[in-house]
Structure 1
Amino acid sequence: MPLDQGSEAPRGPIRFGVVGYGWRADFYFRLARLVPDRFQCVGAVTRKAEVGERLEREWNIPTYRRPEDLVSSGAPEVVVTSVPREANPDVIRALVGLDTAVLSETPPAEDADGMRRLWADVGAADLVQVAEQHPYLPVVVAVRSLIEQGVLGDVTSAQVSWTHDYHATALLRTLLGVRAEPARVSAVHTTTPVLEGPDRGGWPDVQRVQDVVHTLSILDFAGRTGVYDFTDGQWFHPWRRRHLILRGSRGEIVGNDVIWAGEDGRPLSAPIVRRHLGLDGNLEGADLDTLSWAGRVLYRNPYPGARLSDEEIAIATCLERTGLWRRGEAAAPYPLADACQDHLLGLAVHEAAERGAPVTTAVEPWADAVRLP
C-alpha cells in the first residue's frame, strides 16, 4: 500500500468496466463523469436488459449481459465487481479466466472457507485487487506519512472507531504495520440506545431512539495492539464521530492532534490541518486542497477541480492505483491476500464476541503474499 498519491495524471485515462449496478457501482460511474481525464468507463454488465437500458440512459455507457462480452468489446484494463458477496467469487474466477485484472468489491468472499477456495483458484494468477478505500482516505494517508517519517517512533497501538469489520481491521493492520501473523482476538457485543441517523437513503422521515449493537474488540498482534470500536450505523452518523488514536514510543495522535518528542526530548504538539477551498471568500472551488502538519504538506488532493468527497477521492485512488499496477507503473494498492487477511480478522472479532472467549487466527494459505502495509 504505497503512500505516493499519484498527483500527476497517468498516460491516458484508466479504462475500466463494471460488473453489477447499484449504490456502490454508481461511485465508479460518477468518477468517469467527474474526472474524465483520469477515468473512462467502457461498459457495465447487468443480467437484465432493462437494467442495462437504464444505465445506458443515466451514464451514457454501453452495457452487456456477460463479462466475456464486456472484456472482448470494451477492452477494459480493469473490471470492477460490484455484486453481492455470495456471487462475487464466481465473477472473480470468470474474469481471471479471461486474463483480466479485477478490482473486487469488499469482501472478496463470504467466509474463511470461501476465501481459501478463492485463493486456491486465483491467487497464483496475481490479477485481483480489492476495493478497500479506507487506507487511502486523505487523513489516513496523512497519518501514515507521519508514521513513515518516524514522528511517533515505534507504533505499538492503534484504536479505530470509524467503520466496521474488514474496513476497520484494514485500518488497524495498516497503521500498525502488521502482516499476516496470528492474532489473539477478544470481543464483546452490547446494545446501546442511539438516536437514528442517516443511511444510504438519507435522513429518516421520523427520528427515533433505537437499540443498536456496539462491538468492542482487542486484537493482539504479539506486541502490537489494535482496538476495534464500532456502533452499528456509525459510518456517517453525526452523533458517532470518527475517533482515531495512535500511540508510539515517541508520541501519539488523537484525532487530528499530534504530540511528539522533539530532538531534545521535550514535548511538541501541532494539529493536522485541512485546507479546504471555497470557504468564505475563497473562489478556487469547493475542494480539498491539502492536509498539512507543522509546516509540512502531508497530503495533496490528486484530483483538484473534481469536487470529490474524501470517500470518492479514496475510491478513485484505489481504482487508479489498480490501473497503474496493471500497466506495470505502480505497486499493487490492496491485493487479494490483504483483503482475505483483513476479512479473516473481521470475522474473528464477531466469532470472539459470540463465543464469549478469545479466538486466535491461524496462518492462512495467502500469508506469504500479504504485503507489509
Structure 2
Amino acid sequence: MQSPIRIGLVGYGFGGRFFHAPLIAAEQACDFVGVVTTSPERRAQVAERWDRPSYDSLEHLVRAGAEAVAISTPAATHVPLVRRALELGLAVVCDKPFALDAASARATVELAEKLGRPLTVYQNRRWDSDFLTLRALLERGRLGTLVRYESRFERFALGQAVPLAGGGTLLDFGSHLVDQALVLSGPVASVYAEMHRRDDTKGLDDDVFVALTHRNGVRSHLWGSWRQGAPGPRMRATGSTGTFVVDRVDGQEQALLAGTTPQSEGDRWGREPEQHRGHVRRGDVIEPAFPERGRWDLFYAGFAAAVRGAGPVPVDPWDAVATATVLDAALSSAREGRVVQLS
C-alpha cells in the first residue's frame, strides 16, 4: 500500500472549513497536516475541530513536511498562492474560480507543467448526484441525443451582501455551471450573457444568465443568482426522445454544513432521498430517474493517487483554462451587449 500524502490546507473560511477540511480528513489516502491561517479565531477553530496545528505561511507548511496543499482563499489570491506553492515543490488543489481571467489561468497551468508538479482544480460539482444521474441517462440512451441543457444555481439572499471571496456570481457559480456544460457538450463556439449588479456589492454581479452554443450544436442555458425568490429547476436537460428534470440541488453541501462527512456516513454518503429524485418526462409520461450516488468523497482519493503517480488528477487544469475562457467571453458579452464568438 502507498503511504498517505501529507497535505495541508490554506484558508479556513467557508470553503476551507466546510468543503475541504472534512473531505481531506475523511480520506485514508491523505494525512491532514494542518492549516495555513493567521486568524486567531480560525486557528482556534482548527485546533478544536481537527486537533491540527496552524501555520503562518506556505513555507512553514513545507517545513512541517507537507507535499501537497489545497488552496481555499478569496478568488483574487488563488493564482499567486498556487504559483508560490508550485515553486515550493508542492502538488496543488486550487478551489474555484481557478483564476480571475483565462490568461492568468493559462500561465499558471504552464508553470505547473514546466515544474512537473500535479495541479488540479476543485470542480466538486462534477460529482453531484444530479449531474452524475444525467450523464448516466445520456449514456444509457434514455434521453436520446442532448439538444439543450439548462442548469441553475439560484439562491435568495436579497438585502445581503454577495460574498466577496467568490469574485461575483459569474465567477463563483459560473465556474461550476460552465464546467459542467463543457464536460457534457465540449468546446463552445459562441457566448451570450446578461448580468445584474447591485450598488452595494462593490461592483460584483449578483445575477447572471449565460447562453452557450457548443460546436456540436448543443445549447447550454445557465443561470446563477443570489436574488432569486423563486428558483427554477436545478437542472433540465432536453434530449431528442425525452427530458430529465430535477428540482433540488445535490445534498452533499448541506450534509457537510450539518457536520457529517463521508467518514461518519460511510455508504450512506451522497445518497439522495427518494423524494428528491428527478424524472424523465415525455409529455404526459413521467418516469422516475433513480439518482446516482453523489461522490465528492472521490476527489481527494483521486488527487492522492495522482500525487503518487497512480493516475491522472481528478480535474485536468486545462479544463479550468477552458472554463475561464468562456467566463471571459461572458463578461465581455454582458458589458458590450453582443454575442462573442470563440475560435
Report the TM-score when normalising by structure 2: 0.71
TM-superposition CA deviations, 1:187-228 (whole Å, max 9, x none)? 223689xxxxxxxxxxxxxxxxxxx95432321112121111
Please show how residues 325-340 of structure 1 align to structure 2 within 5 Å.
325-340=306-321
Q: Check if 1:219 corresponds to 2:212.
A: yes
Q: 1:134 to 1:74 in 2, by over 3 A?
A: same
Residues 13 and 149 from structure 1, CA distance in 2 versus in 1: closer, same or farther, beyond 3 angstroms?
farther
Aligned residue identity for 2:189: A
Equivalences for 1:32-43 in 2 at 5 Å?
A: 32=24, 35=26, 37=28, 39-43=30-34
Supply the distance in 2 between the matched residues of 1:123 and 1:161 (Cα, whole angstroms).
Answer: 34
1:299 and 1:94 mapped to 2: Cα distance? 38
Q: Distance in 2 between matches of 1:287 and 1:127?
A: 28
Match of 1:169 among 158, 174, 178: 178
How big is the alpha-carbon RMSD for the aligned residues of Structure 1 and Structure 2?
Answer: 3.4
Q: Tell me what 2:226 maps to.
A: 232
| Deviation digits for residues 239-279 of structure 1 (CA, Å, limit 9, x no counterpart) | 3154312122333212279xxxxxxxxxxxxxxxxxxxxxx
Report the Cα distance in structure 2 between the residues aligned to 1:123 and 1:360, rounded to whole angstroms.
29
Q: In structure 1, how many angstroms separate the alpha carbons of the residues matched to 2:226 and 2:41?
A: 34
Instruction: Name the count of aligned residue pairs.
Output: 288
Give, as a single letter, the amino acid of the residue that structure 2 aligns with 1:299. Answer: E
8 Å CA contact 1:12, 1:37 repeated in 2:
no
Q: Give the whole-Å Cα distance in 2 for the aligned partners of 1:285 and 1:157.
A: 33
| CA pair 183-335 structure 1, distance change in 2 beyond 3 A | same
Tell whether the 8 Å contact from 2:5 to 2:307 is kept in structure 1 after alignment: no
Distance 1:17 1:345, change over 3 A: same
What is residue 158 of structure 1 aligned with on the other side? 149
Deviation at residue 58 of structure 1 after TM alignment:
4.0
The change in CA–CA distance for 1:295 and 1:330 in structure 2 (over 3 A counts) is farther
Structure 1 spans left out of the alignment, 5+ residues: 1-9, 193-211, 258-283, 302-312, 363-373
Where in structure 2 are there 5+ consecutive unaligned residues? 155-172, 199-204, 249-265, 280-286
Deviation at 1:285, TM superposition (A): 10
Are the equivalent residues in 1 in contact too, given 2:94–2:122 (CA < 8 A)? yes
Check the 8 A contact 2:142/2:241 in 1, yes or no: yes
State the structure with more CA Rg: 1
Q: 1:190 to 1:43 in 2, by over 3 A?
A: closer
What is residue 193 of structure 2 aligned with on the other side? 187
Identity of aligned residues (%): 22
Aligned to 1:321: 302
5 Å-filtered alignment, 1:85-96, equals 85-96=75-86
Structure 1 residues 1-22: Cα deviation after superposition (integer angstroms, max 9, x where no partner): xxxxxxxxx9676642101221
